[in-house]
Structure 1
């Protein structure tokens, strides 16, 4: 059976573009899991341009599916 893994990098891209705290990638990951996603995908870039270390630390603690 196919599995759905949701990439939340673009949520962080929107947050950076808006120079804001929203939308929150962690909350987005929570909503994806609540909606039935099998996993969450993030890419921590070397320049930390979108996903931040803080995001990854919180995601590691909160994601119940595959990260």
Structure 2
């Protein structure tokens, strides 16, 4: 299930980041589990960046309208 709110998304990112750090401490950086967690974290980060850019675009559009 994808996080709907920005705060939920940020919590998910921090949770995955912590999990990745834990796994990476005990395994090689090229270990399958580390790579999969890293890729999953990347997807959530891209989602957060996309939302942020959409928000900036919307604010810019609103400024032009007003």
User: Do these two structures clear the TM 0.5 threshold for a shared fold by scoring above it?
Assistant: no
- TM-score range with shorter-chain normalisation? 0.3 to 0.5
Which structure exhibits the higher relative contact order, with contacts defined as CA atoms closer than 8 Å and separated by 6 or more residues? 1
Structure with the higher strand share, 1 or 2: 1
TM-score by length of 2: 0.32
Structure with the higher helix share, 1 or 2: 2
